[in-house]
Amino acid sequence: MATRRFAATDPSLAALYEKLSEASLQPLWELSGLLTPQPVARGVPYRWAGKELRELGSTAGELVPVGRGGDRRVLACCNPGLDGAPYAVSTLWAAVQYLRGFEVAPAHRHTPAALRFIVEGEGVWTLVDGDPLHMGTGDLVLTPSWTFHEHHNPTADPMIWMDVLDLPIVAALDAVFFENGPSEKVDRATAAQSSSEAWFGGGPGLVPVDGPALSARRSPLLAYRWADTERALEGQLAVRGDGHARLRYTDPIRGGDVMPTMRCEMERLRSGTTSAAVRQTGGQVTCVLHGTGRIEVGSGDQLRAFDVEPGDIVAIPSWAPRSVSADTQLDLFTTSDAPVLDALGLFRIETALGATA
Amino acid sequence: MATRRFAATDPSLAALYEKLSEASLQPLWELSGLLTPQPVARGVPYRWAGKELRELGSTAGELVPVGRGGDRRVLACCNPGLDGAPYAVSTLWAAVQYLRGFEVAPAHRHTPAALRFIVEGEGVWTLVDGDPLHMGTGDLVLTPSWTFHEHHNPTADPMIWMDVLDLPIVAALDAVFFENGPSEKVDRATAAQSSSEAWFGGGPGLVPVDGPALSARRSPLLAYRWADTERALEGQLAVRGDGHARLRYTDPIRGGDVMPTMRCEMERLRSGTTSAAVRQTGGQVTCVLHGTGRIEVGSGDQLRAFDVEPGDIVAIPSWAPRSVSADTQLDLFTTSDAPVLDALGLFRIETALGATA
Amino acid sequence: MATRRFAATDPSLAALYEKLSEASLQPLWELSGLLTPQPVARGVPYRWAGKELRELGSTAGELVPVGRGGDRRVLACCNPGLDGAPYAVSTLWAAVQYLRGFEVAPAHRHTPAALRFIVEGEGVWTLVDGDPLHMGTGDLVLTPSWTFHEHHNPTADPMIWMDVLDLPIVAALDAVFFENGPSEKVDRATAAQSSSEAWFGGGPGLVPVDGPALSARRSPLLAYRWADTERALEGQLAVRGDGHARLRYTDPIRGGDVMPTMRCEMERLRSGTTSAAVRQTGGQVTCVLHGTGRIEVGSGDQLRAFDVEPGDIVAIPSWAPRSVSADTQLDLFTTSDAPVLDALGLFRIETALGATA
Amino acid sequence: MATRRFAATDPSLAALYEKLSEASLQPLWELSGLLTPQPVARGVPYRWAGKELRELGSTAGELVPVGRGGDRRVLACCNPGLDGAPYAVSTLWAAVQYLRGFEVAPAHRHTPAALRFIVEGEGVWTLVDGDPLHMGTGDLVLTPSWTFHEHHNPTADPMIWMDVLDLPIVAALDAVFFENGPSEKVDRATAAQSSSEAWFGGGPGLVPVDGPALSARRSPLLAYRWADTERALEGQLAVRGDGHARLRYTDPIRGGDVMPTMRCEMERLRSGTTSAAVRQTGGQVTCVLHGTGRIEVGSGDQLRAFDVEPGDIVAIPSWAPRSVSADTQLDLFTTSDAPVLDALGLFRIETALGATA
């Protein structure tokens, strides 16, 4: 039951340190690194190549049944700076999930919230509390905290997508709960339109007067379709001069981020456009949807430059500047823990860093 | 400077009453009707026929120039129960506005907020703080409090639409400010899409990260298009069994009503459907967009039944039950002062009144 | 059922006007005064003298039983500019209520909210939903919308106090409900401390973890005691240099005004201090608690100057500048409808008008 | 740059695992313990004895200068279940700080927020952004995120108190910033009343109309005095029958917790009273102010029972039930991370566990 013991050459101090250790106390003056002038992010700038993710996902599909371990065939992006923890940045889990034709990943729920973003392909349905959501290219699909969710593939073709979870945050708060689905029977429901979208996806600002009860802290709209997203990007580009549109996915009923722990954004950079470097507290994960270009992350010795293409996943640690230049038109989906930092009064952003190019 | 004097046969009381009058005081015990068990609404159930509104608007168009008096050619719906006040219900101004081909109603602004709802026709642009918003059938266009607004008709054809304002409320609060547009010069701008819609109308829940500054208390989206509205109605009808969809127009960024004083809703009743009677505190104005049917308003001696058709405007006074039955598919646009009553803790609604048919 | 008819010499126009009248319509271009550059307040600057209010209250106490008409012996301040309406300003009822020794004003409730402010005396208890609140000099006691309230005087001495209600607002919204107390039996409960204060009045920021359920929109603390108020005024004066402290009474649990329709403030001006003129939209009622001085209200032809003493009630109409100079130390209690204007986006205030002295 | 490698006997799987490792990926199906049915709290129920904390603090006072390491003479409570991390529970730092007579702990600021709770003694002033706050028995003093704070002891006597910080949370979010005070010069200001209390501490619900600007997310009142706290406790006990009062320290202006990351509560149990067991997600730290009794934490094998006395600090890990029985009247101060869990939709509480006695 003793804690860490500190050494001292002075005998009285050494005696004190021994007593402190026995009493489960530590002397602050012997600790270091607790309070740093700026965040010393755990994790490093990193990129997982989309091509490799697809290949390894496919190999896993051949070798590993979906039911084995966590009921999901998932490859977790592990930031090399995190000492083997299976997290893309210190606060976010990012992974690719691979489902072969006719496979089912059965229903469960957990307090960590998840989102799915699809870079390529379609044909899998995710059931969220029984509501079937089709997954297609460019779509964002939410499985909020403590909602049952299941994935099934009624087609013959495999499909791969990106999962992002707030697992590191929920784990750090000792608040993980998990439960398997209500039964062994597998729901293979599909629908042309989800109930969620029928109620809440009609158009901007149009909400039901007497619709389903709303959950307290997350969007009732569970799928954001690429067609809408692209129209919104183009609308914005039409009225701004810089060729760089950025939109946030929000709760269409009450405003605010889609879920209390993860912010989701999509940006489109016209070909030839470069964005200024921005840094913010908290981690981010960017996934390339369309186009090629260059993402620079970090500064000084930590600066890394990634030539990106569709499917690439890039980790941006806390307070690391990020800038982007687009060789072709570039669409980037980014998730961050910004709502957490914002709620706690810890969100800082610097946007005036200038282009790093 | 004396106030109302009350009579009394008792000489001491008569003397007191005289002194009270001289002191600008009134004895509560001689007043009556101040506190009633239920609201005794000023105003009565009433219907203005769309056909008549169009005819009289057209006649006014021939006889009266647009520039004369208030810079608008407007016919105000005057509830017969309001002692000549030009209001449709005690808290809402409703009117039709008529603009001939090539006419312009010049820019001004006022603290009373306004909305425009178009039953038929198209071709006029409303400029709100310089942003050109096209007006077409089924569209809702907002001109929030203290925004400059101008209407112009670049076509050869006349157009008519409904205006609703919160004028009675702003007047009751002695808070009316008015200002003419910045200059005599007339802005005849048009645009395929308004800036407001380009920024904020992309899709449900999709909002700009770094868009224009938001006003504190009203929607930045100034036009709600019929195509979106109808899709939302049909989406809702697909997942509910009662053939009666109701949606509310809201601020797509922060949620809540489009303006702090007026709630806007659209409902679609499938042919043959009847809605239960509902009553709520505060006044409402309903405008028929499509279809025919019957709207019953009030109860007991005050019960009125209106066989309605497109363009009809119906006044529903505070606490009067309203029920609807649809002969054909019926689309109804309704404005109320519910956000005011809600903000003040005075909103009551009874929905279990049963069908009045 | 015809509305106001307008005259025209042109025969076609006259014919149109007749048809409009028959159709319950009015031509906007014949209306005037609807939209004014600035608020043209109904009501005028006015002062009711405390001395006179006490005398007339006392006379009413001798002549009129408390049970007659509205169950209250109340003299309503009637602004001479309001055409006989029994309101102090267009949006607020203000009155004095007089209760003789051992009298009871029985329980009732209504949607208009009320507050009591006591200039002098003590000994009456107000029961709010059964909770006995003692009333003493300088106290503010709330009877929020739809709470049962009763006043009783267990002492031999009469007592007088000021009532302010939001009645004109609730009436303008056609939202008045009224109900008599549950029975004829009279509750004469007293208590050293009300339950409301025991739960919510312990100290700034100290709130019960598992206390009574809160009402949605108003303070659970129903009495604000003068001892606390004075300490807060003196605390503030100790850290500001201008000799003019102003504090607002707020909901101690959620912040914000004590009730959704009325703002309550107390100010203390050190002897010899003059406040700059301030004007705001909406009406205000000021009651002098201690001291003498001069309150100027209005501007230009409407400017009125009142030499005030304790018990005086002063009406400040919308947008009329108000400034104060203190001959002795002066304590002023002020109620306004500012929360209403604020909620509706109609609150404007100008504080840079300069001292009017 | 390789991540953790997993073993497999099947050669193809082994080859895949090698490739995954090279690609910084981990197979979910080989991970375990990520999603548990209930929280498996890091940290154990634990108690640091007040007597020992005072003795060791005193010894540290003799041996260690205040300026050495972090500028504070602080002994951190290290939960034996946290692998040597200097935290009382997984999300909270708790410690005792010891300042000898005439010593100064110089100014600095950091994004982790801190609070001070004083079990015994007085005489030290904490300056928060220059405002001198006296520290006395039973007081709660806040040093919110990024406020400069300094402690100085103008008396000859030493003083000890408890510090609690949200450091583990801020560190987990990679959001630690730190800055030393503006200069070397030491501010030894004192004041009978802090500016914070003069503005915001006047009484429940009494707030300045035109006071200092408010920070976005934390209480402007920086000290909560024991006299107020005790009066609130006794007020509450007078109107509840169970002999167990609980109050929360909140922002007196806007409501809500005093800081966005830490909830502060005080409870008083009458002698002989036992509280039912309660468990909640997130960690808690309880400090005994007055009285003796028994605190039971945990359940099953993890159940620990502590006989407590003033100055004892008890760690309650996430989801561990806690119950209290009071031998004498018992006053307990408790800090938790509940606002964090609440903001993220992760707060769960079970209050119906029944008394564990």
CB of D84 within 8 Å of any CB in chain A? yes
The token pair that represents B298 in the structure block: 């009030």
The token pair that represents B114 in the structure block: 């306004």
Please state, in angstroms and as integers, the Cα–Cα distance from residue C86 to each residue in A298, B58, C90, following that order.
71, 44, 9
Binding-face residues of C in 151-180 toward B, CB within 8 A: 167-179
- Residue C286, φ and ψ in degrees, nearest 5: -110, 135
Query: Using the 8-state DSSP alphabet, how is residue C130 labeled?
Result: T
Q: Is residue C225 one of the residues assigned to a domain?
A: yes
Q: Of D193, D238, D252, which is closest to C235 when you measure between CB atoms?
A: D193
CATH number of C313's domain: 2.60.120.10
Residue of C nearest to B63 (CA): C13
Tens of pLDDT, residues D213-244: 998 899 999 999 999 999 999 999 999 989 99
Q: Is residue C337 one of the residues assigned to a domain?
A: yes
CB of C112 within 8 Å of any CB in chain B? yes
pLDDT band at A182 (very low <50, low <70, confident <90, very high): confident
Contacts of D40 in chain A (CB under 8 A): 174, 176
- Interface contact B78-C283, CB threshold 8 A: no
Residue C41 confidence (pLDDT): 84
- Interface contact A205-B224, CB threshold 8 A: yes
Q: Is residue C105 one of the residues assigned to a domain?
A: yes
* Of C300 and A293, more confident: A293
Query: Using the 8-state DSSP alphabet, how is residue D258 labeled?
Result: S
Name which of C9, C47, C151, C346 to mutate to probe chain B: the one with the most chain B Cβ atoms within 10 A of its Cβ.
C346
The answer to whether the beta carbons of residues A197 and A221 sit under 8 Å apart is yes
Sign of CA dihedral B247, B249, B250, B256: negative
What's the CA gap between A270 and A327, in Å, rounded?
9
How would you classify the pairing of strands C244-249 and C284-290? unpaired
Amino acid (1-letter code) at residue C352: A
Q: What is the domain range of residue B279?
A: 46-176+219-350
Name which of A110, A173, A215, A218 to mutate to probe chain D: the one with the most chain D Cβ atoms within 10 A of its Cβ.
A173
**What's the total number of domains in chain B?**
1
Residue D68 confidence (pLDDT): 58
Q: Is residue A193 one of the residues assigned to a domain?
A: no
Neighbours of C355 (CB within 10 A): 12
Tens of pLDDT, residues A254-300: 999 999 999 999 999 999 999 999 999 999 999 999 999 999 999 99
CB of C51 within 8 Å of any CB in chain B? no
pLDDT band at A184 (very low <50, low <70, confident <90, very high): low
Name which of B17, B28, B62 to mutate to probe chain C: the one with the most chain C Cβ atoms within 10 A of its Cβ.
B28
Residue D356 confidence (pLDDT): 36
How would you classify the pairing of strands D223-224 and D124-128? unpaired
Residue of A nearest to D339 (CA): A344
Residue B2 has pLDDT above 60, yes or no: no
Mark whether D and A touch (3+ CB pairs within 8 Å). Answer: yes
Residue B67 has pLDDT above 90, yes or no: no
**Residue D117 CA from chain centroid, whole number:** 9
Compute the nearest-CA separation of D273 from chain A (Å): 30
The answer to whether the beta carbons of residues A345 and A84 sit under 8 Å apart is no
ipTM above 0.90, yes or no: yes
Contacts of B110 in chain C (CB under 8 A): 35
Contacts of A42 in chain D (CB under 8 A): 174
The token pair that represents C200 in the structure block: 């919510």
Tens of pLDDT, residues A25-42: 999 999 988 999 999 989
CB pairs below 8 Å between A and B: how many?
148
Tens of pLDDT, residues A106-139: 999 999 999 999 999 999 999 999 999 999 999 9
The answer to whether the beta carbons of residues D72 and D97 sit under 8 Å apart is yes
Q: Of A206, A251, A254, which is closest to B229 when you measure between CB atoms?
A: A206
Listed residue (A289, A253, A284) closest to A268, CA to CA: A289
The token pair that represents D354 in the structure block: 């029944």
Q: Of C110, C171, C318, which is closest to B174 when you measure between CB atoms?
A: C318
Listed residue (D263, D283, D232) closest to D44, CA to CA: D283
Tens of pLDDT, residues A313-324: 999 999 999 999
- Residue D77, φ and ψ in degrees, nearest 5: -75, 120
Listed residue (D9, D8, D38) closest to D20, CA to CA: D8
Q: Of D198, D232, D238, which is closest to C239 when you measure between CB atoms?
A: D198
- Residue D66, φ and ψ in degrees, nearest 5: -70, -25
- Residue A198, φ and ψ in degrees, nearest 5: -60, -40
Residue of B nearest to C31 (CA): B69
Task: Please give, one letter per residue, the 3-state secondary structure of chain B.
Answer: CCCCCCCCCCHHHHHHHHHHHHCCEEEHHHCCCCCCCCCCCCCCCEEECHHHHHHHHHHHHHHCCCCCCCCCCEEEECCHHHCCCCCCECCEEEEEEEECCCCEEEEEEECCCEEEECCCCCCEEEEECCEEEEECCCCEEEECCCCCEEEECCCCCCEEEEEEECHHHHHHCCCCCEEECCCCCCCCCCCCCCHHHHHHCCCCCEEECCCCCCCCCCCCCCEECHHHHHHHHHHHHHHCCCCEEEEEEECCCCCCECCCCCEEEEEEECCCCECCCEEECCCEEEEEEECCEEEEECCHHHCEEEEECCCCEEEECCCCCEEEEECCCEEEEEEECHHHHHHCCCCCEECCCCCCC
What's the CA gap between A46 and A52, in Å, rounded?
14
Contacts of B88 in chain C (CB under 8 A): none
- Interface contact B209-A258, CB threshold 8 A: no
Residue C216 confidence (pLDDT): 81
Any idea which of A203-207, A234-238, C30-34 has the lowest mean pLDDT?
A: C30-34
The token pair that represents D95 in the structure block: 């410690």
- Interface contact A337-D111, CB threshold 8 A: no
CA torsion B239-B240-B245-B251 (nearest 10°) is -50
What's the CA gap between B276 and C186, in Å, rounded?
41
Tens of pLDDT, residues D7-51: 999 999 999 999 999 999 999 999 988 999 999 989 999 999 999
The token pair that represents C261 in the structure block: 């329709």
Contacts of B193 in chain A (CB under 8 A): 235, 238
- Interface contact B203-A233, CB threshold 8 A: no
**Average pLDDT for chain B:** 94
3-class DSSP state of D123: coil
Tens of pLDDT, residues C229-258: 999 999 999 999 899 999 999 999 999 999
Contacts of C258 in chain D (CB under 8 A): 205
CB of D189 within 8 Å of any CB in chain A? no
Sign of CA dihedral D196, D198, D199, D203: positive
Any idea which of B257-266, C103-112, D63-72 has the lowest mean pLDDT?
A: D63-72
Compute the nearest-CA separation of C225 from chain B (Å): 25
Q: Is residue D346 one of the residues assigned to a domain?
A: yes
- Interface contact D28-A169, CB threshold 8 A: no
Tens of pLDDT, residues A219-262: 999 999 999 999 999 999 999 989 999 999 999 999 999 999 99
Mark whether D and B touch (3+ CB pairs within 8 Å). Answer: no
Residues C209-213 have a mean pLDDT of 93
Residue B112 confidence (pLDDT): 98
Residue A1 has pLDDT above 60, yes or no: no
Q: Is residue D145 one of the residues assigned to a domain?
A: yes
**Average pLDDT for chain C:** 94
Name which of A34, A72, A165 to mutate to probe chain D: the one with the most chain D Cβ atoms within 10 A of its Cβ.
A34
Any idea which of A55-59, B52-56, C65-69, D143-147 has the lowest mean pLDDT?
A: C65-69
Residue A355 confidence (pLDDT): 39
- Interface contact A252-B253, CB threshold 8 A: no
CB of A51 within 8 Å of any CB in chain D? no
- Residues of chain C above pLDDT 90, percent: 88
Residue B353 has pLDDT above 70, yes or no: no
The token pair that represents A345 in the structure block: 């009064």
Mark whether B and C touch (3+ CB pairs within 8 Å). Answer: yes
Any idea which of A42-51, A228-237, B283-292, B348-357 has the lowest mean pLDDT?
A: B348-357
CB of B216 within 8 Å of any CB in chain C? yes
Contacts of D337 in chain A (CB under 8 A): 173
pLDDT band at C4 (very low <50, low <70, confident <90, very high): confident
Residue A140 confidence (pLDDT): 98
Binding-face residues of B in 331-350 toward C, CB within 8 A: 337, 340-341, 343-346, 348
Angle D50-63/A11-22 helices, nearest 10 degrees? 160
What's the CA gap between B269 and C135, in Å, rounded?
56
- Interface contact A13-D64, CB threshold 8 A: yes
Residue A354 has pLDDT above 60, yes or no: no
Residues A43-61 have a mean pLDDT of 97
Tens of pLDDT, residues C184-208: 667 788 999 999 999 999 999 999 9
Residues B74-102 have a mean pLDDT of 97
Residue A179 has pLDDT above 50, yes or no: yes
Residues B102-117 have a mean pLDDT of 96
Q: Is residue B208 one of the residues assigned to a domain?
A: no
Mark whether C and A touch (3+ CB pairs within 8 Å). Answer: no
pLDDT band at B216 (very low <50, low <70, confident <90, very high): confident
- Interface contact C208-D247, CB threshold 8 A: yes
Q: Is residue B142 one of the residues assigned to a domain?
A: yes
What are the percentages of helix, strand and coil residues in chain D, rounded to 5? 20, 35, 50
- Interface contact B24-C46, CB threshold 8 A: yes
CB of D10 within 8 Å of any CB in chain A? yes
Residues B318-340 have a mean pLDDT of 98
What's the CA gap between B123 and B137, in Å, rounded?
10
* Of D357 and A339, more confident: A339
Compute the nearest-CA separation of A222 from chain B (Å): 11
Helix (H) or strand (E) holding C228: helix C226-239
The answer to whether the beta carbons of residues D63 and D71 sit under 8 Å apart is no
